[in-house]
Amino acid sequence: ESTSAPNFIRTQIREEIEQGRVDTIVTRFPPEPNGFLHIGHAKSICLNFGLAEQLGGQCHLRFDDTNPAKEEQVYIDAIREDIEWLGFEWSGEVRYASSYFDQLYDWACQLIRNGLAYVDDLNAEQMREYRGTLTEPGRPSPWRERSVEENLALFEAMKNGEFGEGEKVLRAKIDMASPNINLRDPTLYRIRHAAHHQSGDKWKIYPSYDFTHGQSDAIEGITHSICTLEFEDHRPLYNWFLDNLPVPARPKQIEFARLNLNYTVTSKRKLKLLVDQGVVDGWDDPRMPTISGMRRRGYTPASIRKFCDMVGVSRAAGVVDIQMLYHAIRSDLEDNAPRAMCVMKPLKVILTNLPEDHEEIFEVPGHPAREDMAMRQLPLNREIWIDQEDFMEVPPKKFFRLAPGKEVRLRNAYVIRCDEVIKNEQGEIEALHCSVDLETLGQNPEGRKVKGVIHWVSARHGVDVEVRNYDNLFQVEAPDRDKDGDFLDHLNAQSLEVVHAIGEPSLRQAGAEQRFQFERVGYFCADRHDHGADHLVFNRTVSLKDGWAK
Ligand code: ATP
Ligand code: MG
Ligand code: MG
């Protein structure tokens, strides 16, 4: 199953295993439950769970839930569902950083007792000012030299809710002159009078990401704590806590470059804005780069895993072309999606040499190269629908579809010739009168070549289909790298087009989330929520044409 390409992290860990420096690796995927997972998270999931699979280790799912104001149970549920849908299994129970709050509090008290932490009364703005800049060292807070007893008493009072939000923080006492700003007395605890989705009202103070993450890793026996490059400068702090606390294990932080995709945004904050402003129809709108949105759009778990594998893991930041993602799903569906015919812009064709009650049923393959797929039944009657784009009254040269006096093959059926164009009083085309060459079923016509093949649907048996054609959500490559404007200025107004199409009758049996190639049109997936036997709704996953330049 795990055929994925090697990467620098896997190579490094393999070496450690061979040299006996690690026994069993333990990784973790640590989302904050403040939104739905997106394609960037998929990269981290494939990496962390993938390493555990490939190297015989374990991967934990741990919710990094230290900011109750932004977190919700619905996000926890959605994240679990997405990981399972991608086909990964975490080891043991789901874990929560919040279940380590007692231990973290004790460790904070220990830092205070060792003179390594203090309660500061500076407000956020003053702290920023005292912190200094890259070129200028910071200055010590006037509260930095409080006694251990006073710090312990104040910290306990903070915990007991005796101060308002923002009145005090607990900080590590490290080095206000460090060239690494993360070491200039980072904040360990903030006051937040907010109920927490796991711990309820128990806490009035919450640990910072930095004070929580490495210690949680250590508590769980994580061997390799893999994160994105923006945490590289936090690594000395990560290690400082491990050095100064009696942690039970010594995890190692390794950084890799985050995934960026063009024509979209991969930031939960921005995606939440799209949801909150009603730009999209929820977190799982098929235009969203969320895992649940991609699922609803018709992506398979295999295609997302394949894509993550193609993208690879490195320390070089870059932007991946969304065409690569389209390529990954297209090649999966090319091999695995059954075929069906669906006419997007119907044009009536009357097959004049068939009797009024003609009914003929063709048994045709579900997929041209997959004998394991069920055959489907395709009825042909005197009246059929073809696509308006497959007919031209005055065709250019090399138009191999239908035109007056010209012939074309109906896919899986006969060759027909257009004899007459029927128009209404306004001169608009209403129907075509065509004749069927009954000698052409499964064989070439006598003495002439017919190049074109078009799709069609029986008018008597065709079913109404609501087709939702999705396109990129943004019309520019880098919507969130606009220096002067807002990413919302670059929305693609044509990102959703609803079409009332007519599909072959076998589509009535399609279950939600079933995927098809609509021949000559693209790949489509029955909508997870809105599709049903009495209202067929298909989302366009991706077009047929591959635009990915390797
Ligand atoms: P966002 O900015 O979208 O909120 P985040 O990093 O804050 O992302 P977390 O919930 O903390 O979101 O992410 C969980 C894990 O997923 C982290 O280990 C993080 O490094 C990883 N991750 C998040 N975004 C990406 C990305 N674009 N590429 C690779 N890994 C990512
Ligand atoms: Mg984060
Ligand atoms: Mg974030």
Classify the C-alpha dihedral 308-313-314-315 as positive or negative. Answer: positive
Ligand 1, atom 18, lies closest to the CA of 227
pLDDT higher than threshold 50 for residue 54: yes
pLDDT tens column, 411-467: 999 999 999 999 999 999 999 999 999 999 999 999 999 999 999 999 999 999 999
| CATH number, residue 183 | 3.90.800.10
CA of 308 to the centre of ligand 1 (A): 14
Query: Residue 151 annotated as binding?
Result: no
pLDDT at 3: 56
Ligand 1, atom 25, lies closest to the CA of 40
pLDDT tens column, 504-530: 999 999 999 999 999 999 999 999 999
- Pocket test residue of 29, 34, 44 for ligand 1, highest count of atoms within 8 A of CB: 44
Query: Residue 365 annotated as binding?
Result: no
Give domain status of residue 266, yes or no: no
| Burial class for 205, CB neighbours closer than 10 Å (0-12, 13-18, 19+) | buried
CB-defined site of ligand 1, < 6 Å: 30-32, 40-41, 43-44, 64, 227-228, 258-259, 266-268
Query: Residue 259 annotated as binding?
Result: yes
pLDDT tens column, 77-88: 999 999 999 999
At residue 550 the predicted structure's pLDDT band, cuts being 50, 70 and 90, is low
3-state secondary structure of 267: coil
Give domain status of residue 411, yes or no: no
Atom of ligand 1 nearest to the CA of 43: 29
Give domain status of residue 199, yes or no: yes
Residue percentage of the chain with pLDDT more than 90? 96
pLDDT higher than threshold 80 for residue 483: no
pTM: 0.95
pLDDT tens column, 112-155: 999 999 999 999 999 999 999 999 999 999 999 999 999 999 99
Domain count, the chain: 1
CA of 273 to the centre of ligand 3 (A): 13
Q: What residue has token string 């091999």?
A: 335
How far separated are the first and last CA of the chain, in Å rounded? 25
- Residue 203: φ, ψ to 5°: -110, 140
CA of 304 to the centre of ligand 2 (A): 21
CA of 268 to the centre of ligand 3 (A): 6
Atom of ligand 1 nearest to the CA of 226: 18
- Which ligand is the nearest neighbour of the Cα of 44? 1
Give this complex's ipTM: 0.97
At residue 1 the predicted structure's pLDDT band, cuts being 50, 70 and 90, is very low
Give domain status of residue 161, yes or no: yes
CA-CA distance, 545 to 316, in Å (whole number)?
30
Give domain status of residue 359, yes or no: no
CA-CA distance, 43 to 49, in Å (whole number)?
10
User: Catalytic residue numbers?
Assistant: 32, 258, 268
At residue 4 the predicted structure's pLDDT band, cuts being 50, 70 and 90, is confident
CA of 130 to the centre of ligand 1 (A): 30
Across 395-432, b (16+ Cβ under 10 Å) vs e yields eeeeeebbbeebbbbbbbbbbbbbeeeeeeeeeeeeeb
pLDDT at 2: 47
Give domain status of residue 384, yes or no: no
Q: What is the span of the domain harbouring residue 153? A: 112-206
pLDDT tens column, 99-114: 999 999 999 999 999 9
Give domain status of residue 389, yes or no: no
- Which ligand is the nearest neighbour of the Cα of 231? 1
Atom of ligand 1 nearest to the CA of 35: 4
Query: Residue 43 annotated as binding?
Result: yes
Question: Long-range contacts for 411-418 (Cβ within 8 Å, ≥24 apart)?
Answer: 411/341, 411/453, 411/454, 411/455, 411/456, 411/519, 412/362, 412/364, 412/378, 413/362, 413/378, 413/380, 413/441, 413/456, 414/380, 414/438, 414/440, 414/441, 415/440, 415/445, 415/450, 416/349, 416/351, 418/391
pLDDT higher than threshold 80 for residue 482: no
Give domain status of residue 239, yes or no: no
pLDDT at 316: 92
